Each structure stands twice: as C-alpha cells, then as structure tokens.
Structure 1
Amino acid sequence: MRPSRLLPLIIATALFMENTDSTVIATSLPMIAQDIGEDPIALKLALTSYLVGLAIFIPISGWMADKFGSKTIFRAAIAVFMAGSLSCAAAGSLEGFVLARFVQGIGGAMMVPVGRLVLLRSVPRNEVVQALATLTIPALIGPIAGPPLGGFITTYFDWRWIFFINIPIGVLGIVLATIFVPEIKEEDTPPFDFLGFVLAGAGFALLMLGFASGGRHLIPPIISGACVIIGAISLVLFVRHARRTPHPVLQLGLLKLPTFRASVTGGSVFRIGIGAIPFLLPLMFQVGFGLTPLASGSLTFIAAVGALFMKTLAKRILEHVGFRRLLTINAIIGAAFLAANGFFTPTTPHWLIMIILFVGGCFRSLQFTSLNAIAYAEVSNRDMSSATSLSGVAQQLALSMGVALGAFALETASQLHGSPTIVAKDFGPAFWIVAAIASLSTFAFMRLPHDAGAEMSGHKALKRQQPATGLGDGIEAP
C-alpha cells in the first residue's frame, strides 16, 4: 500500500483517541465525582477546561508545524495528550483533574489540526474527499464503542483505567508517524505573532468558557456573561491587529476565498444547531423519558453508526451531485432530521427512534465530510496551515455555541410551560429552535459557484480546467 494511502489511517489514531476519550469520560463522570468527593455537575468543568485548551492553542498549530515540521509537532502532540491522560488517571482532586484535562486540550489542539494539515499537503487534490472520509472512519469507532466501554471499565474495574486506553493507541500512532508521516516544514516561516496569539487565544478561550458553562450551572451566569463580553472584545481587538500585521496568527484574509468562506460561515451555522445534539438528546432520554444511562446510550450510538456508513459513500455522492447542490440541499435535510428529534415521546418505539437517528447521522456525516473538503479547494499549499487553524477554531467555537443555545432553548421552554423541573415536552421546542438555526446555513452554500470544488469532488458535469492562480497550487505530494 502506498504511504499516501496509509496516512489517513495513521492520522486517524489522533481522532480515535480524542473521540474515545471524550465519550468514556462522559459515561464515567458520576463515578469520578464520587471518588474525588465532588458534585457531578462540578466535574463538567473538566470538559470545559479541555475546550479552553483547544481554543488557546489551535490558532498556533499551523505555525508550529511550519516552523518545526509537521511530523515533529504531530508526534509531540500525541505525547502531550498521553501525558494529560496519565495525569487524569493520577488526579485526586477537582483542581488536578481540571488541569490534566487542560493539558489534554493542548495536545488535542496540535494533534488533530496538524494531522489534517499533513494529509492535505500530502494527498493529491482529487483524492482529498476520500482521504478525509477515510480519516474519520476509524475515529467514528470512538463514539460507538466509548459509552459501553467506559461504563464497563467504571463498573467492573476503576475509572482511572479509562485513561490508560489512550496509551497503547498513542504509542502506535507515534511509531507509525515516525515511519510514514513526511516531515513538511516551511523554510521561510514568518515571525511568531505573540500579540495576536494572546488576543485570539484569550478571546476564543473566554468565549468558549462562557458558551460551554452557560445553561449548565458550572459557574454563576454573571461570570459566564462576562467571559463572553471580554472574549468578544478581545477578538475585536485581534481583528484590528490582524489588519495591521503582515503575518497574523490567524489569516482572516483567507475568508475572501468563496469556498473557504462558505465552509467556515455556513459550516459554523450548521454546527451551532448540530452541536446541541450531544447535550439535548441524552438529557431527553434520561431526564425526560426516564431511561437509564445504558438504555440511552444504546439508542444514541446508532447515529455514529450512520455516520460511519456514510463515509464509505461520500466520494461517490459528491461525484454525481457536486459540492454546491449537495451542501445546499443536505443542510435542509440534516436540519429536518434534527427537528424530528423534537417529536419523540416516551411512547415512541425505540426501533423508530433508532432509524431516525441512523439516517440523521448519515446526512450529518455527509455534510461534514463535504464541508471539511471544500474548505481547502482554493487554499494554496503555503496557506494550508493557516486555513486549518482558522477552520479548527471556528468549528470548536460553533459547537460550544450549540451547547449554550440548546441549554438556553430548553430552559426557556421549561419556563414558558411553567414546569418546576425539565420535563419531556420541553425538549420539542429546543430541538426545533436549533434545527431552524442549522437550516439557515443553506443560504451561505447557495452563493457558491456551480463548479465550486469540482477538482476535489470529481463532479464531471461541471469539472473544467482551473485557471493558473496562486490560490489553487497544490495539495500534491511534495
């Protein structure tokens, strides 16, 4: 097998570790809280600290790869993530656990974006869609196996063992990366934008902290609001700084590229709606319908199965439909299946719930694969690192906003219904609101050219020779 064919599977070790880690932790949080003497709600601060680590360090992941080499940073990031995992296993207090999760976030911020950067720079342009789909296939095993695996380990062994799952996977990833991943770096890397790093990192971190804690009672609402306000001010200052700096830590000028702009703006709106699913769906099944965590997990995992199934078909569908039509229509379909969750009741047959979740997972997976691919259709090889950093930050911010929006919609519905506690009928309006937000993304995709990304999708009806410009020179192997 050619090394370029192995790259997606090697880089997928990073995604697999990250996805498995997040799902097993969610399952084990109550037992972790009990063991260290904390309320389970307080332990969710550990989830937020991971997002903060991502928000601060994703913006510099591309620069680090350009300066020190993509292989070097990718391997170091896996090692940092493993160190954070071992620290989580050794934690004996809330403060120690939160700090360990922050270290994991630093590793995740470098690990996944740099791995995707290696793939984009090493795979021919007409193989990018299939490579990205292959990249996420092993990673989707995490959401499928994570909840039952975490529950089994926590029930029959000790919760600390869940963090040792990452160690053999990480060691394998480092060994394979050493052998097969190319060392790609830029000889004329621009100077590090320290002020931009501080402004962007603080802005994104405070925004994500405010969004992630909003509606979940992690910190007082006034502090959540202050985080959002200060974070927004910091980002406004960063935009002003970026316009005056020749080499900002995030190149906002990339948003002038139609395909990249559509992926970031339209993709963010779509992800805001979809980001509410991990918060709303398990809560509806357990709090609204009275299901056990095991029964809830036995329903929700099927969406990841649907996503895994669709990865095998994404390339062929894009060849027949093309990016513009697929993204525009599929945004509406994906939002419709999101809204369908709001019609579930405690008496809805489980087989029907699973069918809807499976099909919905298929369409969401197709949308995300297309969004991740078309983002780089016009990005030059030189700007690829900046594009992955900007796109990664936008994705994480949108997902955090989705959780906040879902929580706000749920609590508002509960107040309007006059219920002292959240009940099953409160979830319908919450799902319909986030679905409506997700559907608005279609307007961003409608503005794309008809032949947008034809070289990547292989859509023969519109594919034609692209003009030789500085924006489209190569994701070819060096």
Structure 2
Amino acid sequence: MKSDALRYRIIPLIVACPLFLQNLDTSVMATALPSIAESLRIPVLDLNLAIASYVISLAVFLPASAWLSERFGSRRVFCAAVLVFSLGSALCGVASTLLQLILFRLLQGAGGAMMVPVGRSILLRSVPPDRMVSAMVWFTIPGAIGRMMGPFFGGAIVTIASWHWIFLVNIPFGILGVAMAMMFIDEDEKPTPGAAVDMDVLGLAMLGSGLLGLLGGLELFGKHLLPSAVVTGMILAGTLALLLYAAHCRRHPKPILDFSVLRFPVFRTSVMGGMPVRVAAIGALPFLLPLLFQIGLGMSPLKSGIVTMFVAVGSLATRAALAYVIRRFGFRTLLVGASLIMACLIASYGLFGAQTPIWVICCLLFACGLATSMVMVTLNTVAYTDVPRDRAPHATAMSSMAQQLSIALGVVIGASAVSFSSYLHHPETQGLQAGDFPVVFAGIALMTVWSTVAFRTLSPNDGNELRQQR
C-alpha cells in the first residue's frame, strides 16, 4: 500500500513535467518581453506574436493527441512530445529575428500540443478515482513551480546575460522529464491487430485550418502586417472551417476530436464555463503584469520578475490545504467563492502606481495566486467526474485545447485592450503608460465574474465521490 501511495504521487509529478515546461517558458518570456523587443528593435506589443504563435500551434496540433496516444501508446507519444518541445526551445535560443522566433515557437507548440493532454490521459488511467484529489494536487505542483521560477529566471537572465538563454533553460528539464517517464510510467501495451483507428485526416484538416485561420486572424488584426482584407478573410475562413468540422464531427464515427464529450454536464461546465477565467488568469495576466511593472511602473526586469513571482508563490502555498478545503466546502462553493475573490483582486491591479508600496503589490499578487490555484485545481479535478474512462483521451484533448485557446485569446485580448487604452488616453504619444492599465484590468476582472455565473450551474453534489478520498 505504501508503494502504491508513493506511485500515486510520483506519476502526477512526472506527467506534470509539460506543465512545468510550459509555465516556465511562458512566464520567463513574458518577463523578458521588453528586453527582447529592444534587442530585435521592434515594438514590445508586436512580441505577442511570438507568444501567440506558440499557443496557436498548440491549439492546431492538440486534436491529434488522442489519436496518436491510441495509435502509438501514451508513454511513447509523451516522451516524443517533450523532446520536440525541447528541440524547439533550443532553436528559439539561437533565433536572431522575430520571424525566426515565431517559426521556432510554432515547432515548440507542436511538441507542447501532445505533452499535456497525453500526460493527463496517463494520470486518469493510472490513478483510481478515490485518489484523484490528492493526485491532482501533486499534478499541479510542477506547474506552480514553473510559474514561480519563470519570472525570476527571466529577470535574472536578461539582467546578466542575453535573452536567448531564457529558452535554453527548458532543455535539461525536458531531458529529465523523459528519463523519469521511462523509469516510472508503465510501458505501453502492444496494440492488438486491427485495433488501430484510422486518423480522421479530413477532420484534422478542417479543425486545424479553422483554428489557425481564426486565431491567427485575430492575432494579426490591427497590426498592419498583412492587408486588412487578408486578415478578415482568415477570420471568416477559419470560422467557416470550424462550422464545417462541427457538422463533420456529428457524421464521422471516430472524429479526430469528439465534441460529443461536451454532453457530460460537469465536463461541459469545466471547459466552457471555465474558459473566461482561464483567459484572464493564464492568458491575459501573465502577459500584462510584466508590461505594467516594467513599462508602466519603471521596474527593472529582475525586480519585475521577483514581484511577479508572488502570484506563483501564492499558487503553490495553497496546495497543502487544498484537498481539505475541497472536502470541507465542495467543488461548487469553492469555485464560485474563489473566482469572485479573483475578480476583485485582478481589478485592484489597475490601482497600482509608482507610489504603491511594494509589500502591498506583493500581498495582492500572493492572494490572487491563492484564489487562482483554488479555481484551477478544482476545475481540473472535478472536470472528468462524469466522463467514462474510455472517453478520457478525447476529454483530455478537448480540455487541453480549450486551455490553449484561452491562453491565445488572453494574449490577444490583453495586447489589444492595452493598445486601445493607450490610443484613447494619449493618441499622439507612442508607448504604454501606467494610466493605460486600470480599465484593462477591470475588463479582465469582469471576464472572471462571467465564469462565476457558469460555476453556479453545478450541483452541490457534483464530485462528491472524489471528496471521499482515503
């Protein structure tokens, strides 16, 4: 029994290695944005193309993760994905232009697209339901550590060395993750003859082109990098392709991404209702906070990174008591209460100014990290309670795609909102100022409130079987 308990801790930590890598990568890059922009001699807001290209690539390739896992085995796909992600990181580390950085980030995203959903599928397959709350808490720890380390790493690296090194720190962690997976995750079962499912190539083409057109068009909108007619055409074509895929999904016996998993009400609330809070917490905020601190408040990259770390410190600190809190209050109550607290704290960020004491900023960031952790861990834990285990690969792929879409939309919304606010406040002056951010954070807070409305549709008894964990 003791060996089983240890296994139920080690496996979540291993399959959470991708979350560590992704969160480290995103938070490091967000902190280093002003330094990268200065080095490449481009406007800082144009660098959201490098962030968005990664998450767009994630969203485009994510639908294939379920098929690849079933066809080649979860452990093989997991290890290959981590290696591709690490290769993309190495290439980003030698990029010298924005175009090169965008292309290598697309490769990075192709690897990242397979890491998280396949890892979650391994977790659901390896851990029994009565151990899932504890396992999910362990599963979220590496991601929180990545978010905690990233801002400090980013600030320290661009202070003492070249920004190129921010991508190279992923490589040893990726190699370690593959080694641990080979040691502790069971070997993939050999597929029985005739068991392999043919890939839905047409569905993959529709879904991939739809996501690429819609997200790419939204990202390029207003940047004058392509003619406005081309950008509008991308958005319309992407929307049409997604509608065609929705019709195709209903007819195909084995679609590349099965939308029918959204029929399960708890899972649907987690994915669709949780999207606004994810857009705010894991998309917009990591992009906006470094800009506020470095450009709006004049902090150095290192100081900005240290201050931003308090969000992740708060997120990590809540892990010790979260399993007890879930059992004590239940999933619905915790989601509604924590997301309302998040909204209030996010809105308070718009009040930060040059005279705001650092300890006040750090305390509010820490508190928001606590609330965010409660929402995210609770969502990830309760999401699959009404999903049959044989549908888990499609459910995890759907959930991961929704999460990456949220990040992409968060970056797009954050960049567009702060750019528009800057134009309204001082159209003759280029660049961002502290006064451009309050209305932006207020809007992000309202998005979080939107999710609260969806969480109220959950039943107080949803997830009760997970609360009875030994």
Q: Kindly tell me: are residues 202 and 457 of structure 1, through their superposed partners in 2, closer, same or farther at Cα, counting changes over 3 Å? A: farther
Map 1:34-433 → 2, pairs under 5 A:
43-184=47-188, 188-214=195-221, 223-274=230-281, 275-417=283-425, 420-421=428-429, 422-433=432-443
1:463 alignment partner in structure 2: none
Preserved contact between residue 133 and residue 323 of structure 2 (Cα < 8 Å): yes
Q: CA deviation at 1:43?
A: 4.8
Contact 2:49 2:102 in 1 (8 A): yes
Distance in 2, matches of 1:118 and 1:331, equals 29
- Residue deviations 1:315-336 (CA, integer Å, cap 9, x gap): 1111011112221222222111
CA deviations over 1:224-267 (Å, ceiling 9, x no partner): 54433322221111101111111111111111111101001111
Provide, for residues 382-408 of structure 1, a one-character-per-residue CA deviation record: whole Å limited to 9, x for no partner: 110000111111111122222333334
Shift of 1:347: 1.9
Alignment deviations for residues 135-159 of structure 1 (CA, whole Å, 9 cap, x no partner)? 2212222222223323433443444
Task: State the distance in 2 between where 1:278 and 1:311 align.
Answer: 20
Q: Indicate if the aligned counterparts of 1:85 and 1:163 stay in contact, CA closer than 8 A.
A: yes
Q: Output the amino acid matched with 1:87.
A: L
CA distance in 2, matches of 1:157, 1:410: 29
Deviates more, 1:117-126 or 1:128-137: 128-137
Q: Is the 8 A contact 1:66 1:184 kept in 2?
A: no
Report the CA distance shift for 1:30/1:52 in structure 2 as closer, same or farther (over 3 A). same
CA distance in 2, matches of 1:292, 1:272: 27
Would the aligned equivalents of 2:279 and 2:409 in 1 still touch at CA under 8 Å? Answer: yes
- Paired position in structure 2 for 1:20: 24
SS of equivalent residue, structure 1 residue 312: helix
Tell me if the contact between 2:30 and 2:286 (Cα under 8 Å) persists in the aligned partners. Answer: no
Amino acid in the other structure paired with 1:354: C
**Which one-letter code corresponds to 2:212 in the other structure?**
A
Could you tell which deviates more after superposition, 308-317 or 201-210?
201-210
Q: Do the aligned partners of residues 23 and 166 (structure 1) sit closer, same or farther apart at CA in structure 2, a change above 3 Å counting?
A: same
C-alpha separation in 2, matches of 1:200 and 1:25: 28
Which blocks of at least 5 consecutive residues in structure 1 are unaligned? 461-478
Deviates more, 1:298-307 or 1:95-104: 95-104
1:5 correspondence with 2:9:
yes
For the 8 Å contact 1:410–1:426, the answer to whether it is kept is: yes
Aligned length: 460
- Return the offset for 1:117: 1.1
For 2:196 and 2:156, the matched residues in 1 are separated by 48
Q: 2 CA distance for matches of 1:322 and 1:428? A: 34
Q: In the TM superposition, what is the alpha-carbon distance from 1:161 to its structure 2 partner?
A: 3.7
Q: Comparing 139-148 with 238-247, which one deviates more in the overlay?
A: 139-148
Provide, for residues 271-298 of structure 1, a one-character-per-residue CA deviation record: whole Å limited to 9, x for no partner: 2233321232222223322333333222
- The equivalent residue for 2:445 is 435
Judged with a 3 Å threshold, the aligned counterparts in structure 2 of structure 1 residues 419 and 34 are, in CA distance, closer, same or farther, namely: closer
Relative to structure 1, the CA distance from residue 360 to residue 213 in structure 2 (aligned partners, 3 Å threshold; closer, same or farther) is farther
Q: 1:36 to 1:277 in 2, by over 3 A?
A: closer
Task: Tell me, in whole angstroms, the C-alpha distance in 2 between the residues paired with 1:226 and 1:279.
Answer: 27
**Maintained 8 Å contact 1:116/1:388:** yes
Paired letter, 1:264: V
Residue identity matched to 1:265: M
Per the TM alignment, residue 348 of structure 1 is displaced from its structure 2 partner at its CA by 1.7
Give, as a single letter, the amino acid of the residue that structure 2 aligns with 1:249.
Answer: I
Equivalent residue letter for 1:387:
A
Do the aligned residues in 1 keep the contact of 2:35 with 2:163 (CA within 8 Å)? yes
Displacement of 1:342 after TM fit?
A: 2.0
Q: CA deviation at 1:14?
A: 2.2
Label 1:398 to 1:97 Cα distance change in 2 as closer, same or farther (>3 A). closer
Structure 2 match to 1:475? none
Q: Write the letter of the residue equivalent to 2:458.
A: L
- Cα displacement (A) at 1:308: 0.7
Aligned to 2:465: 455
- 8 Å Cα contact 1:42-1:218 kept in structure 2: no
Cα distance, 1:355 vs structure 2: 0.8
Contact 1:20 1:146 in 2 (8 A): yes
Shift of 1:133: 1.8
Deviates more, 1:85-94 or 1:61-70: 85-94
* CA distance 1:33–1:338, change in 2 (3 Å): closer
Q: Which of 434, 445, 450 does residue 455 from structure 2 map onto?
A: 445
**Displacement after TM superposition at 1:219 (Å):** 5.8
Q: Is the 8 A contact 1:62 1:385 kept in 2?
A: yes
Structure 2 CA distance for partners of 1:424 and 1:313, relative to 1, 3 Å: same
Q: CA RMSD in A?
A: 2.5
Aligned residues of 1:322 and 1:454 also touching (Cα < 8 A): yes
Letter in 1 for 2:251: R
Shift of 1:431: 1.2
Distance in 2 between residues matched to 1:373 and 1:249, nearest whole Å: 24
Q: In structure 2, do the counterparts of structure 1 residues 368 and 70 end up closer, same or farther at CA, with 3 Å as the change threshold? A: same
Contact 2:31 2:155 in 1 (8 A): yes
Residue 140 of structure 1: SS of its match in structure 2? Answer: helix
Distance 1:100 1:407, change over 3 A: closer
Amino acid at match of 1:65: S
Distance in 1 between residues matched to 2:284 and 2:390, nearest whole Å: 35
Unmatched 5+ residue regions in structure 2?
none
